[in-house]
Amino acid sequence: MAYQGFYYVCRNIYTISSDTKIISKILEIHLFPRILSFAEDTGYRVVLAEHQNYYPDISFMHAKNENIKYAVDFKTTYRLPDYPEFCNGFTLGSHGNYFVNRESSKNIQFPYSQYQGHFCLGIIYNRHINEIDETRSYGLDELHSISSVIKDFRFFVAEKWKIASDKSGSGNTANIGSINKIDDIISGRGMFSELGEKWFDDYWMNYGKITITEDGGKTKQIRNLQEFVSYRGGDERLIVPKARKIGLRRRYQ
């Protein structure tokens, strides 16, 4: 599977950029028929988010028991050029109102507590920014001369708490960040994976809300998992360290 451009009615192909929002939407459209087929085969129906900023992208609701629901978010990201064993990472949803107040209906399709599980359906890919002439159109007979803007896909499904890091995922917004080593994502080995989901919930419900006093009388907010587990009296040995990019920088092949 590779993506080269849009086919227009005038029989021209217009190349696409490697913009992550465009890529994500194309991949979602491509996967959607398979998701519908999977839901039908397993006795579920698909409920789409009513608004663009709602969580999750898709709710799987049991066809015979509407109390059984699963939240599924699409996640796409690209491998890092100099560290291809790592990806750029992604967000895992908000740790704001609906995450803290689990009966809330604000910005969520159904209240958080009504879901039996929260999953990510993800794709990791290589992108080739410099190989595409983003302003040119091609004839249909030139299709094979157009380089794909993305390729080498790796698919994964994971519960979001199992691939979470302890850092916010998008600057000033209240989003949970993911880990970014690809093998750890595929195997569900995030920072909370040995602590358990209750620790994930507790940490992100209280992210930046707990203040501790250091030696010398200075105060600071807890914003890392080690300090949080220590504060709660948990076993710090169960924290899975986030993989770091080390060694010589390598060119992307």
- What CATH number is given for 5-194 in this structure? 3.40.600.10
Mind giving me the DSSP string for 140-151? GGGGGGSPPSEE
- Kindly state the average pLDDT of the residues 91-101: 95
Lowest-confidence region among 33-42, 47-56, 244-253: 244-253
Rounded to the nearest 10 degrees, how much is the dihedral formed by the CA atoms of 197, 202, 208, 209?
A: 170
In one letter, which amino acid is 128? H
Q: What is the mean pLDDT of the chain?
A: 85
Band of residue 30 on the pLDDT scale cut at 50, 70, 90: confident
pLDDT over 80 at 129, yes or no: no
C-alpha distances in Å from residue 149, one per residue of 16, 76, 118, 156, 226 = 7, 14, 30, 21, 40
C-alpha distances in Å from residue 1, one per residue of 11, 21, 153, 164, 185 = 21, 19, 8, 28, 22
Q: What percentage of the chain reaches a pLDDT higher than 90?
A: 65
pLDDT over 70 at 103, yes or no: yes
Q: How does pLDDT run across 66-93, given as a tens digit for each residue?
A: 999 999 999 999 999 899 999 999 999 9
Q: How does pLDDT run across 49-58, given as a tens digit for each residue?
A: 999 889 999 9
Report the interhelical angle of 197-205 vs 225-232 (nearest 10°).
Answer: 100
pLDDT over 50 at 193, yes or no: yes
Query: What does the pLDDT read at residue 207?
Result: 95
Query: What does the pLDDT read at residue 250?
Result: 45
How far is the C-alpha of 172 from the C-alpha of 76, rounded, in Å? 21
Query: What does the pLDDT read at residue 249?
Result: 47
- Look at 212 and 253; give whichever has higher pLDDT: 212
Which residue, among 61, 49, 123, 126, has the nearest Cα to 93 in the 3D structure? 49
Handedness of CA 91, 96, 98, 100 (dihedral sign): positive
Band of residue 21 on the pLDDT scale cut at 50, 70, 90: confident
